[in-house]
Amino acid sequence: MSLYPHELRYQMRLYWRSRELAFFTFLLPMILFLLLGFAYGDDEIQGVKGSNYLLTGTLGYGLIATAFAGLAIVLVIRREEGILKRLRSTPLSAPVYISALLTTTMIAFLIQAVCIIALGMAVFGASFPHRPFSLVLALVLGAASFAALGVGLTGVIRRSEGASAVVNAIYFPMLFLSGSFFERDTFPGFLQAVADVLPLTYFIKLVFEIMLRGHEIWERPGDVAVLSAWGLVGAIVAIRRFRWVPQED
């Protein structure tokens, strides 16, 4: 484990040096938050001020952009280009590499969450989250679950050209169905049924209840259970399907 701090330092450096990643996963959710917030931030959604509702949705967007989509695409590209294969010849082990990458993702997401909340407070007068401790726990749980799903997804993607397509095909529908930006109650029944199994739905509900309704995380065991179960599925696939070498090798 002595390699872990070394690897983490470099993974952090790599993360912040990637402009594409910084834009699509870090800045884009905030930009969309601003646009939607100005458009209907003053409406009332689900009994709360629109901008507050959008704030919780944006945290969900940031979560899947950073911890799921960004992580999965980066890992597939590193594998298919041969970066992982090169690393495989060194004493670096898969658990150290993956845990450093997950920690980097988690730190990036937590910084992003702070920025989103600060933006909401500064621009739309959002109030400080009701239950900050529970909120941090929920963010960490969400990041862990989605990162596990992201790494698991890399095990079933075959080529780097397909990575964005596959990831986007999962990520955008999930983003909209989970009620990040629209009230789920207005969806037709079958779409609601789909939304009811998606992990993002439960993350957004959990964050909504904690930030806006003043619940603690342990008062929402159902949401926590579904999120954790998805994370576990992702972790199992990730461990079984992780590869260092490109597909056509």
* Interface stretch with another protein, choices 8-16, 110-118, 159-167, 186-194 (CB under 8 A): 8-16
Question: Considering the complex, what minimum distance in angstroms separates the CB of residue 73 from another protein?
Answer: 15
Q: Which two tokens stand for residue 3?
A: 């390699």
- 23 near another protein, rule: CB under 8 A: no
- 13 near another protein, rule: CB under 8 A: yes
Closer residue to another protein in complex, CB, 21/135: 21
- 209 near another protein, rule: CB under 8 A: no
Rounded distance, CA 204 to CA 216, Å? 14
Number of residues that bind another protein (CB under 8 A): 20
- 239 near another protein, rule: CB under 8 A: no
Q: Convert residues 30-69 into a mask of x (bound to another protein by CB under 8 A) and - (unbound).
A: ----------------------------------------
Q: Are strands 44-45 and 48-49 parallel, antiparallel or unpaired?
A: antiparallel
Rounded distance, CA 71 to CA 65, Å? 8
Binder to another protein among 42, 58, 65, 85 (CB under 8 A)? 85
Closer residue to another protein in complex, CB, 107/136: 107
Q: What is the DSSP letter of 202?
A: H
Binder to another protein among 24, 48, 82, 228 (CB under 8 A)? 82
User: What's the full length of the chain, in residues?
Assistant: 249
* Interface stretch with another protein, choices 28-36, 83-91, 177-185, 207-215 (CB under 8 A): 83-91
CB 183 within 8 Å of CB 45: yes
- 159 near another protein, rule: CB under 8 A: no
CB 130 within 8 Å of CB 213: yes
Question: Considering the complex, what minimum distance in angstroms separates the CB of residue 231 from another protein?
Answer: 28
Closer residue to another protein in complex, CB, 76/141: 76
CB 56 within 8 Å of CB 204: yes
Task: Say what the alpha-carbon torsion angle 8, 151, 95, 248 is, to the nearest 10 degrees.
Answer: -110
Question: Considering the complex, what minimum distance in angstroms separates the CB of residue 126 from another protein?
Answer: 35
Binder to another protein among 43, 81, 161, 196 (CB under 8 A)? 81
CB 33 within 8 Å of CB 122: no
* Interface stretch with another protein, choices 14-22, 47-55, 130-138, 210-218 (CB under 8 A): 14-22
Q: 72: closest CA among 173, 180, 146?
A: 146
Place of tokens 């789909």: 194
- 18 near another protein, rule: CB under 8 A: yes
- 7 near another protein, rule: CB under 8 A: yes
Strands (E), the chain: 44-45, 48-49
Q: How far apart are the first and last CA of the chain?
A: 30
CB 50 within 8 Å of CB 43: yes
Which residue ranges make up the site for another protein (CB under 8 A)?
A: 3, 6-7, 10, 13-14, 17-18, 81-83, 85-86, 88-93, 245
